Each structure stands twice: as structure tokens, then as C-alpha cells.
Structure 1
Amino acid sequence: MVRTELAARLNDREYTNWLKAGRCLLILKDGLLPFTDRYMRAFHGDLLNQSAVLRSPCRDSCKPRGNKLSGCKVCSEWQKAILRHHRQPDVTVNWDNCFPPYWRTDHWEVAKAFMPRGQAKVKGADKCDAPALLNLINYCTYFSFVDPKLVREVIRCRNELMHSSEYHVTDDWMQHYWTALNHFVNQFRHVPEMATVGNKIDEMLTLNLSIYVSGLDQMDSGGLGDGLEADFVSHKESGADVGQWEAELLEEMLQELLHDADEDTDSQTQVGKGKKAFLHFCLCILHIMHKRSMFHDFC
């Protein structure tokens, strides 16, 4: 049954477009992670070197209230420094992403001020997703070599992808997405960790997932000969990979829905609370299934 349903999905071209586009975001994230971490560490060091006040500890254990922060003298100076290096300081800055007393010692707490909502519990660059890193690059002026228009186009494509209720995108959309990714990635030619990202994205977007369908059909036939045993194992593993891809994308979409629910003005009503509880439940179940490899059980 699981194999049949997977085969049906992989025979749907626009669904596989959606799946491959999502995988490209993970490829992009893996390339950007070490670079953004290193760059923000340098940015943090520059800020500390420029101001004796910033080198002082927080005096009042300052904490945002909602998305507002009225900090001590030190945290107020950190706020000013962050806003000075923000490309659009007039937009909403998600102070509730941050724990201000850590700004002096943790470069990533500073980075989170440039990111979308929902980063408060994220501890370190390796726990961030692609949109967090893309928004950091978009809003922080320390990434001055990046054309903001190009990163914003990738963000726009990512948002369209994650808000596709049918999990489908067209070939025309994919072509535009491919172009947007290439233009963005080309700006990082000098970054060693990004050297292979463009090729990996090209390989993913040209991947023919119908070969997995062929392999699953052979498995369902029950008549594999000795010469096909290696293919059986290969397709079984490939099917497991695809199942993991699906789980990871669905998990990210559920996280997005939870963030939206948190900002919903009706989220404090009984119905709103029930919706959030249901999303949390779905996310927990998906996480458990992912961990237990239930998506990978094709035999």
C-alpha cells in the first residue's frame, strides 16, 4: 500500500517538482550554514571592538515583551547597533527571537534579530533553516556583497513553495525558481562551502524520480531474479530517501503553520487554541514517524 501511494505521487510531475524544489532549499542551507556562521562571528567581533559599552554585560536580565524590548543601557546600545546594520530598520524587527543578555557573548543571538519570527528556541547556526539564513543575508548590511533583490526573489519563491496547499508547482515555476537560485548562488563563488551548491541544485532539479516508480513496480511484481536483487536494494533505499524528503518538507510546512497561528489575532480563542494544539500534535507525530523511519518502510 505504501509503495503504491509513493509510486502514484512520483508519477505526478508537479508533485515531484514541489518535492525537488524543497530539497534544493536544504542543499542551499547546507552550503550557507558554515559561511553565515563565520560571517556573523566576524560581524559580532567588529561590533564589540567598536564599542566599550557593548562589551559590558546586561544589567537587568532584559527580555522582550511580545515583540517589544525596553532594555538597559547596554541592551539599548545593542538594539541601536543592530538597527544601524539593518537594511530596513523601519520593518518589524523580531526582538522576541533574541535573549538580549546573550548578545555580548553569542554572535548567533545577534543574528536572530535579522530573521523571521519563531527563532527564540533556536540555539546556534546549525539549527536554522533556509529562510532564516536567507532573511539574515537579506536584512544584515554586513552581507554587502549580496544583491538584496536576488535573495528576496529566492525568499519569494520559497514562500510560494511552502504555501502551496496542493504540494504542486508547474514546470514554468520551476524554471523561474532554477534561474533565481542560480543568480543567487553565483554571488558566492568566492565561498568554499558554496562551490558545489550550484551543481548539486542542477542535479536535483534534473533528477528523474520516475526511475523510483519503475523500481517500485518491479518490487510489487514479486518476481525479482538474482540479477535484479541489487536494483531492488537500490530502489528500496531510494524510496526511503524520498520518504525522508517528504517528511522533512511536511515538518517545515507544519512549523510555518504554527508560526502563522501564533500571529493570528484569533489564536487566543478556544477554536484558535484548538487549531494550534492540533498542529502541535501533527508535528509531534510526524517527528516520531520520521525518527522511527516509518516513512522508510517499503518492504
Structure 2
Amino acid sequence: MVHHELTARLNDGGYKNWLKAGICLLHLREGLHAFTNREMRRFHENLLNRNQSLRRPCQRSCRPKNNQLYSECVVCAEWRSEILKHHTHPAGTVNWGNCRPQLWSQDHWELAKAYMPRGQTGEKGSDKCDASALLNLLNYCDHFSYIDQERVRKVIHCRNELMHSCGMQVGDEWMRRYKACLERLLQLLTNVPEVAAANQQIHKTLTAEWSVCVSGVDQVDMSGEDRLEIDCMSQWEIEAGSISQWEVELLRERLQEVQFNADAQEFGEMQSLREFLLANPDLGEQLSPELLEITSLGRKRKREEQSEPVQD
């Protein structure tokens, strides 16, 4: 069966661009998983070899509170100092709430999460992290200083523009700039097999047409041209299945982000996402838990606004 709902959405050029750009981020994420895991394991081992006291276990089962790390034990305090020493912007916000400090001496990925955006607490490995988390790791941990940080930051900027784009729409000029930013970053990692494979998938995505023509031809008596059309439709079904899965994954990531950062701007985006899912029942059905959650958050926000005292 032809994916009519997806086909209709892809008739909107702005949305098709948005979806293509987002899927490129999913491919980039896959390419960075093994690379960042290997590099952070190496970084962790280097820290332990240079400072044997970091091998000692946590003495108080230290844990952050409200994204801050208070009254940590002497071991975790030393880890904190080491993390800041290797942070490219130590005066900025460090999301200690991502970490379980008592595991810093044992788990290289608990160390990695100190260099990531909020919301990574439950992620126990690189394969659980999205592109934003991994790109921020490259940007904020000086172990990756051999990578041109300006190129990393430009991709982060494009990613943020994409995920906060009004109505999930981006234009052709934006796509050209985005493609150039991706290519310039990936050029630095061509020696990493997983990144090279991701680069191929990104190129394939950016150059794909993603269109199908359905004419209602009677298959009993078809010309060669008609059979070719049906073959194209069959190929589209295969592609559409993958595109649909990526679409849901990308929207789920966006929904989780707006739920986690429920400020005024995110609230407006949350409402737009809710309206989009209601207007596209095939997506609303697959994302029904997230749809229920943002509906509940929306009602809670309205009640809070109504209960706020009126100021003179």
C-alpha cells in the first residue's frame, strides 16, 4: 500500500527539506556512535593513567542536585576539577545533573555526559545519544581539540535552527548552507569508517527525490511504461517504510526536547507540534504517548497562567 499520508507531506517542499535535514542528523549520529565511544574510552584511560588517585572509589555515593554538584567527596571533587580542566568553556554551564559521579572512576561514558546538554542522565552509552549530545561532546571536551571546533559549532547551529524551525519548514537556500556545513565537518573524519559510511547515507538522502506518481493503472493489461511505474511504486514503498520510521524518530526527539525544556518558547513549539500530530493521524497514532504528554503539559501550563495574579 502506498504511504498516502507521507506522500502528501512530502509534497510540501519546506517540510521535505526539514525531514531530509533531520534524517541527515540521524545518519550523522550513527556515524559518531562508535567513534565517540572509542575516543572517550581512550580519554578516560589517559586521565586514570596520569592521575592514579582518580581510580579511588567515590566515598559518599555523591550525586548532583538541581544540576549542581554540592559537597562532593574528595575523589569526586578531584574528578570535578579534572572535568573542568578539559572543558573548552568551563565558565559556562556544566550539566552535572547528567552524571552519576560515583561511576566516574569506572565508566568513561559517565565522564562524557558532563560535556553534553541536559537530559542525558539515563543514557548509558554513546549508542543511546542523539546527534546534539555527540556534537556538543566534540565541542566541549578538549580531547577532540584536533577537530576544527568552528566546523562543529556550525553544524550545532544548523541543528538548533532545524529543530526550532517554525512549522518544521526550511528553504532551499538553508539546505545548501546546511549541506556545506555537514560536508566540511565530515571531511575531517574521513578516516573513520563509520563516519565515512554515514557520509554516503547523508549524500544519498540529500540527493533523493522522494516522490511517486500514482495513476490508477489497471495492472491486467499494462504497457511496459505502466509496468515501470508500478515497479517505481514498489521501490517507493520500500523507501517510504524507512523514511516513515526516521520521521517518527525525529519527531519523537523533538517532542522529548520540548517536554524537557518547557519554557515559554518551547511551549509555543509544543502546541505547534501537537497541532501537527493531530492534523496527521498516522503520526499521532505512532506518537500517542508523547501526544498525550504534551497535551497534559499544555493544560497544566494554561491552568498556571490562569492562576497567576494580575499585576497593576
Give CA-to-partner distance per residue, 1:173-221, whole Å, 9 cap, x none: 00000000011111112222222333322221111012x3x2xx24xx2
Is 1:142 the counterpart of 2:129? The answer is: no
Residue 301 of structure 2 corresponds to: none
* Matched ranges for 1:168-207 at <5 A: 168-207=169-208
Aligned to 1:119: 120
Query: Is the 8 Å Cα contact of residues 41 and 108 (structure 2) preserved in structure 1?
Result: yes
- SS at 2:219 equivalent: coil
Counterparts of 1:86-97 in structure 2, within 5 Å, are 86-97=87-98
* Contact 1:57-1:74 at 8 Å conserved across structures: yes
The one-letter code matched in structure 1 to 2:219 is: L
Mapping of residues 206-221 of structure 1, within 5 Å? 206-210=207-211, 212=212, 214=213, 217-218=214-215, 221=216
Q: How does 1:37-76 map to 2 (within 5 A)?
A: 37-70=37-70, 71-76=72-77
Q: Displacement, 1:65?
A: 0.8
SS in 2 for 1:120: coil
What value does the CA root-mean-square deviation take over the aligned residues? 2.8
Query: Take 2:103 and 2:207, find their aligned partners in 1: how far apart are those partners?
Result: 44
1:236-247 equivalences under 5 Å are 236-247=237-248
Q: Look up the match of 1:128.
A: 129
Pairing partner for 1:224 from 219, 226, 231: 219
Q: Deviations over 1:216-237 (max 9, x none)?
A: x24xx26335746544432222
Aligned equivalents of 1:16, 1:79: Cα separation in 2: 44
Structure 1 residues 166 and 135, CA gap change in structure 2 (3 angstroms): same
| 1:147 to partner: Cα distance | 1.2
1:54-95 alpha-carbon deviations (Å, 9 max, x no partner): 000000000101111121000000001100000000010000
Quickly say closer, same or farther: Cα 1:38–1:288, change in 2 above 3 A.
farther
Q: When the two structures are superposed, what TM-score results if normalisation uses the length of structure 1?
A: 0.83
Task: Say which SS state the counterpart of residue 195 (structure 1) adopts.
Answer: helix
Aligned to 2:109: 108
Per the alignment, residue 77 of structure 1 pairs with: 78
Counterpart of 1:289 in structure 2 is 286
Q: Which residue of 1 aligns with 2:156?
A: 155
Residues 246-285 of structure 1: pairs in structure 2 closer than 5 A: 246-261=247-262, 264=263
Q: 1:297: which partner in 2?
A: none
Q: Is the CA contact (8 Å cut-off) linking 1:251 and 1:286 kept in structure 2? A: no
Look up the match of 2:21: 21
- Matches of 2:131 and 2:65, distance apart in 1: 27
Q: Report the more deviating stretch, 69-78 or 235-244.
A: 235-244
- Whether the 8 Å contact between 2:252 and 2:287 is mirrored in structure 1 is no
Work out whether residues 2 and 233 of structure 2, in 8 Å CA contact, stay in contact via their aligned partners in 1. no
Q: Give 1:296's aligned residue.
A: none
Question: Contact conserved, 1:58 with 1:75, CA < 8 A, in 2?
Answer: yes
Residue segments in structure 2 that go unaligned for 5+ positions in a row: 289-312
State the identity as a percent: 47
Segment of structure 1 superposing worse, 113-122 or 157-166: 157-166
Do the aligned partners of residues 286 and 37 (structure 1) sit closer, same or farther apart at CA in structure 2, a change above 3 Å counting? farther
Post-superposition shift, 1:139? 0.4
TM-score, length basis structure 2? 0.80
Q: Who is 2:304 aligned against? A: none
Structure 2: how far apart are the matches of 1:119 and 1:90?
20
| 8 Å contact kept, 1:17–1:168 | yes
Q: Is the 8 A contact 1:18 1:161 kept in 2?
A: yes
- Where do 5+ consecutive residues of structure 1 fail to align? 292-299
Separation in 2, partners of 1:287, 1:187: 39
Aligned residues: 272
Deviation at 1:51, TM superposition (A): 1.2
1:246 positional shift = 1.6
CA contact (8 A) 1:185 1:198 kept: yes
1:108-144 residue CA offsets vs partner (Å, 9 max, x unmatched): 0000000000000111111011000000000000002
Residues 2 and 237 in structure 2, CA contact (< 8 A), matched pair in contact too? no
Deviates more, 1:9-18 or 1:189-198: 189-198
